[in-house]
A and B are shown apart, each in its own frame.
Chain A
Amino acid sequence: MRLHLLVCTFLSVAVGTTMGCNKNAEPAEGGATVTAAAEDNGPITVYCGRSKSLVKGIFDDFTKATGIEVKARWGKTTATANTLLEEGANSPADLFFAQDAGALGALAAKGLLKKLPASVLDKVDAGFRDPAGQWVGISGRARVVTYNTDKLKPADLPDSLEGFTAKKWKGRIGWPPTNASFQSFITGMRVAKSDAYTEFWLKGILDNEPRVYPKNTPAVQGVAKGEVDVAFVNHYYLHRLKKEAGDKPFPAANYHPRGGGPGAMVNVAGAGILKTSKHSAAAEKLLTYLLSKPAQERFATDNFEYPLAEGIAPPEGLPALKTLKLPKLELGKLSDLESTLKLLRKATVLK
């Protein structure tokens, strides 16, 4: 009996404290713009949802150039964003570098991010940053159709993704529906078109019995192996796998839908500064550096991503951003993954 009482007391205290703390979890409003203190030399803690192999070199270059130490925590973008949501006002993070605009949108919606100064925001086309100025795009990832070049020529491919609902694509499509980029793309379709259109398209593809992949890399490998003829993925996986394959044949290529539409959208990897940051001026310097010419060129040459700062050339062999027929949509709205998930479940794409 005594033990039962003990457990109950402990639990009620625990729950009570938890609730109490949660009330304070929303960080205090204030500091609408970041005021740079020139002598802020960090060190800064960066929660990085981007892969270490992609950006560690760039952080090292930044430290060499400015003397500001970067303490990076590498992790999955969504898990990192969830961590930041749990930390709330107690976060030790200064900057969040996310793989996806959706994660930044989720943090911005909870009021965890600071408004960035115009000097940073203006480096990037308005289409690739938060309209409210709480995060900025750093590099771009285009949605593409990766196709098997042994089986298909570009002329065989339809003008837009709608064409893939035709019967002749039955059993030939691969997609990664649990992947974050894929879900962002579906959110993009919802925002650019409508929920009804998106559901209709999803059902059309489902009727063609698409092969489900856990993420982009195996989907692109599946195309090259001939498991499927086409896959709906991001553009750069192909280039990385081709580099990895070296001299071995890798019979796959990317197709940017010539008719445009949601299938041709360009999502961004971006960054924002936490309101809890004690070194926001130093964090702002890192943000500026990420948008500078040397860093932007590294995203292009090392990672095959699109540089987003104005006036820097795209990676070799890729069509320029301006030549792609981008759908009209606000990337800030890609944070509404919740509705996308509901739709994906309704269409039985997800359980």
Chain B
Amino acid sequence: MGASRRPSGGFALAGAAWLPALLVLLVPAWLLLRATGGDGTGLTRVTAPATLTLLVETVLLAASVVVISAVIACSTALLVARTDLPGRRIWSILLALPLAVPSYMGAFAAIAAFGPNGLLAERFGAELPEAYGPVGAALVLALLAYPYLFLPLRAALLGVDPKLEESARTLGLTPIQTLRRVTLPLVRPALIGGALMVALYVLSDFGAVALLQVDTFTSVIYTQHDAFDRSGAAALALVLVAVTGCVLLLEGRARRTWRGRLTATRSTAVSSDRLIRLGRWRWLATAWCSLVVLAAVGVPLMVTAVWASSSGATCTHCEPLGTLALNSVTVAGLTAVVCMVLALFVVRYATFGRHRRRDLPRRLLYSGFALPGIVVALAMVFMASSWVPVLYQTLPLLVVACTLRFLPQATDGLAPAMAQVRPSLEEASRTLGHGRLATFRRVTMPLIRRGWIAGGVLVFLTTIKELPATLVLRPTGFETLATELWDLSNEAFLGAAAERCILIVCLGVLPMLVLLAREVER
């Protein structure tokens, strides 16, 4: 019965935690094989001057997206969590919606809406600059990715024990000082974790950067594949893996330098008399939130709706929308469930250990999130077709690929919740005679449920949007909303494409609404 006193878990836990990490590591192993293959010129790309330029451009883009996202996320999270902003519960939901918008949709909309001949100029006569270029890309990506910061930040703000801030106030600190010296250190882990996800989102994004004509590692890797320069593409992808490693090191260092002590108090509701009163500023605050939601969700939906209503060529070869939606939900649902189960092991293993290396599997998984989808997909093609041909081009393999890409979103949702589970709490339950399962169900689960489900929802809606891996790995004849949208958008079927695009957003929004609505009720 040593296990009950040693919460580090058994061999099974270690195995389950390492399994996905080792699978992800096969991708860089395959990259190494490809980079050194061919005529052997691939690795020279690593040291080419063009790669350095690309590195600078990619890092600059990622950094600026993080900064812009942080401004949007911090301001809006403070508004909904700490002020008497009118309708702040509704805003909590609305401000999370951009997660459901695929990046190609956001970028397409920005291109169509802006510019001297854009839809906005046509409707309102406003002379707006074009969306192309690094500035446009940074803004579009920030508007799509800021919820990765907004959601954890809002949760952290709501989780801060109000008594701490109150004490600070009674000791004579001004509200601003309290924010800076008490609240900020408490939410810093959420801030750092969110910034990491935003940065990795930018590194792996293809849709927006390609459409907005900005070069990043990912877009150039796609170009290399298009030219059948497999060794060059692999070499660049290896550099991207190294960049991801550096970002993770930075994040780890930031966490250690500013280690916050997250209080275990669970969402003691901040009573309304403790809220900051906005007074006449509330209209400005409402305008700011409206602007963010309108730009991030309103414009893409509006542009897509315009296309959907334009007659266009009728699609005679299309699958029924119901079948497509069902297929999309099947892949996304299965991936979400698999990710949630694996995340339990990975996070559990990382949380209940003294050694930092127990956190290694969780951190290794981020490389799957940062790599372009096509790289993960082609690695799976090679490995599955030669080692497990039975699985090749089947639904399970597609789910595995999506899991490797999106698992970090599930672990990110779960990790802060799991950190609140004190081993002593579980030990007490075990001492009182509950079995391991009963303890998990009755003690652990209630504490982690919210973050756990939130992570699963995030995986669900990212998988619904996923295109490159689905296109390469899906079973023959199996079409999803995203694959057919891709097919239609290549040809002159904008109307039918727009319908599928809107359905993707709706399917992503639904579980998010259910989740957030429940949370807001509390």
Contact = CB atoms under 8 A, between A and B. Distances in A.
Nearest to B316: A57
Given A90-B392, A351-B53, 4 more contacts: A14-B25, A82-B230, A178-B226, A243-B492
A225 to B, nearest CB: 5
Contacts of B476: 45, 71-73
Given A78-B226, A82-B225, A244-B492, A15 B29 contact: yes
B382 interface: yes
Interface string A224-247: 011100000000000011011010
Contacts of A106: 228
Contact of B385 (A87, A180, A345): A87
A10 interface: yes
Nearest to B212: A214
B385 A91 contact: yes
B522 interface: no
Contact of B472 (A75, A91, A217): A75
Nearest to A81: B228
A73 B393 CA distance: 10
A318 interface: no
Interface in A65-84: 71-76, 78-79, 81-83
Contact of B227 (A87, A92, A337): A337
Contacts of A192: none
A19 B33 contact: yes
Contact of B29 (A14, A85, A92, A244): A14
Contacts of B37: 22
Contacts, number: 150
A90 B386 contact: yes
Interface of A: 3, 6-7, 10-11, 14-15, 17-19, 21-22, 25, 45, 51-54, 56-57, 71-76, 78-79, 81-83, 85-88, 90-92, 102-103, 106, 178, 180, 183, 212, 214, 217-218, 225-227, 240-241, 243-244, 246, 335, 337-338, 340-341, 345, 350-351
A218 B112 CA distance: 10
B387 interface: yes
Nearest to A18: B33
Contacts of A75: 471-472
20 contacts: A10-B22, A51-B487, A53-B315, A57-B316, A73-B477, A76-B471, A78-B227, A81-B228, A82-B228, A82-B230, A86-B381, A87-B381, A102-B228, A183-B227, A244-B313, A337-B226, A340-B227, A341-B224, A351-B57, A351-B215
Shortest 8 CB-CB contacts between residues of A and residues of B:
A244-B492, A240-B492, A90-B385, A78-B226, A337-B227, A86-B382, A351-B215, A86-B381
B294 interface: no
Contact of B226 (A22, A180, A218): A180
Interface in B409-468: 468
B374 interface: yes
A244 B487 contact: no
B210 A214 contact: yes
Contacts of B490: 51, 217
A83 B381 contact: yes
B230 A351 contact: no
B26 interface: yes
Contacts of A246: 311
A61 to B, nearest CB: 12
Contacts of A92: 392-393
Given A53-B487, A337-B227, A341-B229, A79 B25 contact: no
Contact of B378 (A21, A51, A86): A86
